[in-house]
Structure 1
Amino acid sequence: MSVNTGHGLPFLPGCTFRDVTKSAFHRPQTLTFKNGYALPHRPIVGIGQDPLLSAQLIQDEINELSSEALAPTYDSSNRSDLSTFIPAYVALDKKVLRFYAYFKQDVLHSPDEEFRVRSVVIYYYLEDDSMCIIEPLVENSGIRPGKLIKRQCLPKNDHGDHYHWKDLNVGMDLMVYGMMYHITRCDDYTQQFLESEGIIVNDPEPTPVDPYISSRTQPKPSYVTTSDFDQLHKFLTMDRKVLRFFALWDDSDSLYGETRPVTIKYHLVDDTVEIREVHEPNSGRDPFPVLMRRQKLPKTFKSAGEPFPKCVLEVSPKEVQEYYSPKDFRVGETVELMGRRFLLHDFDDFTKSYFQKNHPDIEIKSMERPKKVSTFQGGSKEFPPYNGFGSLEDSLQNCLSLNPKPPKKDLKKIWENDHKVLRYIAKLDSQNPHDESRHFILSYFLSDDMISIFEKTRRNSGIIGGQFLKKTRIPKPGSTVNNPEFYSPADFAIGAAVEIFCHRFVLTDADHYVLTYLESIADQIPSETLISLRQKMGLHPGQETANNQTVKGDDEVTETSA
């Protein structure tokens, strides 16, 4: 049913009536479809076919309303003299007065305390004159903080009156639900608000200290003079300060004795000593680093009146006359600890600064660690001689590991010198007269320092030409597996003999690129090699090749092959 308010009464309960004759309550359709598209339009009638308010207004009334909205008047004569009413929940919204107070809580059946002083904060909301009391957090008090009294209007007396902000002031007592709260101070905003309303705020008062909390607080330790017997002061000043010495344990007296590196730590906080063994890889020993646990080491004992067995290790503190101190550890000297000899040879930076500050009369200076003498009688590792199968590097890998790995290559050299080849013409130096007419081309590949030999084919010679030696690295005569030496461009001079696998080749000529390349690295090539190449190519000692060209005469220029 619709509600009819056409009679002019306010829209409030009891002032409206329903139209019992109305039977249509549906909303008007505001969406139509045209050519398959949804098109919205403004409603013509209201709910239940009721006429719209805009349709009932005549055009003059609409123009009058629009002109009043768009053209306000600012004339003082037309202003309304009525003052604007602002409700309290708008004018005093989020304006809160804050007071600090405390109350005393009696503690029963406790020998340590009679009462507790608990601090609280009182909030007064000016919006609706409500109040709440909150207890802040106090560390180590054992009391859970939070709201003691939730926000409400607190009763003032039995007559139904409530507390007002005029009743609150610093230094007064506030009785709430049988608990007496004493206000000690307030914040700056509360003081300014009360003074603006004509209330004189009293001076703030100190909050009393809880006697039980004050008894639990420990005063900070104070020292007049430092004492050797003050263990607390020594702990506070020397904790985590350790002197570290590097030493060698001389265990050569045992059956399989040797010299082992150890680290001696002297803890300044309690004058204890700890010895740790430095584990070295492939030493054959289990990694148990602690050689001697942290303990105080006795240095001298009191003389016993009766014979006493020295093998007994249990010694009471009363029998010890002196313990080891930092002054007993001097670098460069041998110190005996628990029947073992240790040679101190080095220390860390903190140890050096500690001795310079506390013991300047003791000069400490690190010494070179003695070299460990190897007990292996076999000497240096020897490799078997080269058997001629494969390259020298591949054969050497079989001696280094059970699973041979390919030798590493110089990739930078391969990228820079790819397709760069030095070619020489050689002949075979042999006693056989048939070998005098044989000619070979020796190619040196700069990318991997390999050499290949190709024999020129000659008709009716009876010798098949072609590949004489595939690419391989050629070691020099007399080179060993441990220290191999290979041929390089510096060894290939015109007229030089090159021995390759029991064959001697004599270089007779080279192409022009060889001279061009060797002149670019003249600081790495012997001068005899360059001179032999220049003389073979008909160049004077002062002439040089440039841009892969060789000057043969005054007017003739011949381009070399690369």
Structure 2
Amino acid sequence: MSWNLSSHGLPFLPGYTFRDVTKSAFHRSQTLDYKNGYALPRRPTVGIGQDPLLSEELIQQEINELSNETLDMTYSSFNQSLAEDFIPAHVALDKKVLRYYAYFEENVLFSPEEVYRVRPVVIYYYLEDDSMCIIEPMVENSGIPQGKRIKRQRLPKNERGEHYQWKDLNLGMDLEVYGVKYHITHCDPFTKEFMESEGIVLNDPEPIPVGPYDKSRKNLQPTHTTPSEFDRTHQFLAMDRKVLRFFALWNNADCLYGETRPVTIQYFLMDDTVEIKEVHEPNNGRDPFPLLMRRQRLAKKIKPGFEIFPSCVLEVSADEVDEYYSPKDFQVGQTMTLLGRQFQLYDCDDFTKEYYQKKYPDMEMKPTEVPKKTYTPQERKMDVPPYNGFGSVEDSLQNCLYLIPEPPKKDVMKLLENDHKVLRYTARLDSQNPNDEGRRFILSYFLSNDMISVFEKSTRNSGVIGGKFLEKTRVPKPGSTVESPEFYSPADLAIGATVEVFSHRFVLIDADHYVLKYLQSNSSQIPSHTLDSLQQKLGVWTANNQPAHQNGDNVAEPSS
């Protein structure tokens, strides 16, 4: 039997409500909980008497109404369109720059040649943040500080705090920034296309005017009083930074302790001057001052009557010189005398060869062979003190080669490939003392660093304390020198061979089975007699049914 607890349209008064007699639970849901000793609030999921919450009913009711509701057009009809994605200005206008070309006039004081000077500039307008910068192109040998005139910033337009916008720029206008008027003449194609797409019509472009100084340079008149064969100013402007470079040998063998030294001869086409520099080699014992002759014009022929003048006291003036050295006097393969010194030209650079091919095609600029300086064995030999026995030979040699010793370089690949690979041999001591007859040693060869260690096996009641006989070290062969030492290698360790370790002689009598296995894998680097001795020894050893250790961890006892 079901009861309707709420009737629509009836007031909530006694007598108009009905009680559900089937309901037995009237308590509220628990809203407080304990977890790990802490009181935590808990949101109820049901109401009083396990009834659904009113908030959930309203939410579900609203969902049902919204799902069944249809949109009614209250106002005039309109087309619903999807909202376009918003793109900020710094993303849409990134790397979009307007470029204008302009100039400004600079007043020149105290100059009879010009009153003002025209200086071109480039104006950049960055659309992403409405900032501008003004840059003046660099002109070689102008003598004027050029480059960035105004760094990137928003330029003020007036005193009210307004700034220039892209709408304010046009061709033929004056842009006044910080007291300087820049007259805009033209722009690039991107700027013209952008302005036209925004509905702004640009004015006609204008050419940048030529200043009075530039006009005077184009119509330059000679100012010399005496007739000249060529224009010095044109030579300076056309041949600036063009240098002929020759490689030569200075023959100074006639002087005391003289020798032949390499030099570089540079001929400057700008003013026909010559400069000579020495080529210093590392550790040649000379001061690092390469300038042998300063840059100057060299006189080739003196006028008659001035030859006996003491030139060592005063320099020769231009009136006393009949002819100076020119590029045609320098030819590769010949010997020339400059200021009393003989120089043999043996080569030149690529620019010099191209210059002579165009200017003097009849002259051959073929390089010649230079005799290399040879040293006698006494000059090359370095006195190395004898090895004192402390440390390795390479480590001790670093004290002779460097002021601050450096550790010897190691073969890293060899260390990684041969790590934990050891060749072990059984050896006896070759001595005249009869007490050393029964002593047995284990000689270990480490393949990672070519070091050898010797361990003596302890024998009961022998009177000799066993243990470590030699620490890991590289053992040189007898007769090797400190300059070129030779160390023992696996190729030298054959059965029956004698190994001399720092005045102690050891005879190899047996080896591990891993030794034969390793040497067979590298048979191309091992002599045949070494392999034969091991095969013969280990073959007898295996025939006696004695254990053969494959991993090389133990060493077999000597064969009986």
TM bin, normalised by shorter chain, reads 0.5 to 0.7
Q: 1:265 to 1:520 in 2, by over 3 A?
A: same
Q: Which residue of 2 aligns with 1:388?
A: 389
Q: 1:68 to 1:292 in 2, by over 3 A?
A: same
Residue deviations 1:358-416 (CA, integer Å, cap 9, x gap): 22322222233333467997651121222333332233233334544433333332222
Aligned residue runs from structure 1 range 248-259, under 5 A: 248-259=249-260
Q: 1:437 to 1:298 in 2, by over 3 A?
A: same
CA RMSD of aligned residues (A): 4.5
Aligned residue runs from structure 1 range 1-12, under 5 A: none
Q: Which amino acid aligns with 2:297?
A: K
Aligned residue runs from structure 1 range 389-538, under 5 A: 389-538=390-539
Q: 1:230 to 1:560 in 2, by over 3 A?
A: same
Q: 1:300 to 1:281 in 2, by over 3 A?
A: same
Distance 1:404 1:68 in 2: 93
Q: Which SS does the other structure have where 1:363 is aligned?
A: coil
Q: Which residue of 1 aligns with 2:361?
A: 360
Q: 1:500 to 1:282 in 2, by over 3 A?
A: closer
Q: Which residue of 2 aligns with 1:297?
A: 298
| Alpha-carbon contact 2:512-2:549 (below 8 Å) kept | no
Q: Which amino acid aligns with 1:530?
A: L
Q: Which SS does the other structure have where 1:537 is aligned?
A: helix
Distance 1:246 1:429 in 2: 65
Residue deviations 1:93-135 (CA, integer Å, cap 9, x gap): xxxxxxxxxxxxxxxxxxx9xxxxxxxxxxxxxxxxxxxx997
Q: 1:494 to 1:358 in 2, by over 3 A?
A: same
Q: 1:426 to 1:220 in 2, by over 3 A?
A: same
* TM-score using structure 1 length: 0.56
Q: 1:321 to 1:559 in 2, by over 3 A?
A: same
Aligned residue runs from structure 1 range 210-289, under 5 A: 217=215, 220=218, 229-289=230-290
Q: Which residue of 2 aligns with 1:136?
A: 173
Distance 2:296 2:526 in 1: 68
Q: Which residue of 2 aligns with 1:317?
A: 318
Q: Which SS does the other structure have where 1:529 is aligned?
A: helix
- Offset of residue 266 of structure 1: 0.8
Q: 1:455 to 1:218 in 2, by over 3 A?
A: same
Q: 1:233 to 1:375 in 2, by over 3 A?
A: farther
Q: Is 1:561 matched up with 2:551?
A: yes
Distance 2:452 2:379 in 1: 38
Distance 1:432 1:488 in 2: 29
| Alpha-carbon contact 1:552-1:558 (below 8 Å) kept | no
Q: Which amino acid aligns with 2:265?
A: I
Q: Which SS does the other structure have where 2:385 is aligned?
A: coil
Q: Which SS does the other structure have where 1:394 is aligned?
A: helix
| Alpha-carbon contact 1:511-1:561 (below 8 Å) kept | no
| Alpha-carbon contact 2:428-2:440 (below 8 Å) kept | yes
Within the candidate set 71, 75, 81, 1:70 is matched to: 75
| Alpha-carbon contact 1:334-1:342 (below 8 Å) kept | yes
The structure with the largest alpha-carbon Rg is: 1
Distance 1:371 1:306 in 2: 38
Aligned residue runs from structure 1 range 370-389, under 5 A: 370-372=371-373, 380-389=381-390
Q: Which amino acid aligns with 1:560?
A: Q
Q: Which runs of 5+ in 2 are unaligned?
A: 1-70, 79-112, 114-169, 184-195, 221-227, 553-560
| Alpha-carbon contact 2:516-2:531 (below 8 Å) kept | yes
| Alpha-carbon contact 1:332-1:344 (below 8 Å) kept | yes
Q: Percent identity?
A: 62
Residue deviations 1:315-356 (CA, integer Å, cap 9, x gap): 232332221122221223221111122222221111122222
Aligned residues: 367
* TM-score using structure 2 length: 0.56
Q: Which SS does the other structure have where 1:519 is aligned?
A: helix
Q: Which SS does the other structure have where 1:515 is aligned?
A: helix
Q: 1:240 to 1:305 in 2, by over 3 A?
A: closer
Q: Which amino acid aligns with 1:457?
A: S
Distance 1:394 1:214 in 2: 75
| Alpha-carbon contact 2:476-2:487 (below 8 Å) kept | yes
Q: Which SS does the other structure have where 1:292 is aligned?
A: strand
| Alpha-carbon contact 2:513-2:548 (below 8 Å) kept | no
Distance 1:375 1:522 in 2: 41
- Offset of residue 501 of structure 1: 2.0
Aligned residue runs from structure 1 range 20-169, under 5 A: 69-70=74-75, 136-137=173-174, 144=181
Q: Which amino acid aligns with 2:331?
A: R
Q: Which amino acid aligns with 1:234?
A: Q
| Alpha-carbon contact 2:514-2:549 (below 8 Å) kept | no
- Offset of residue 312 of structure 1: 5.1
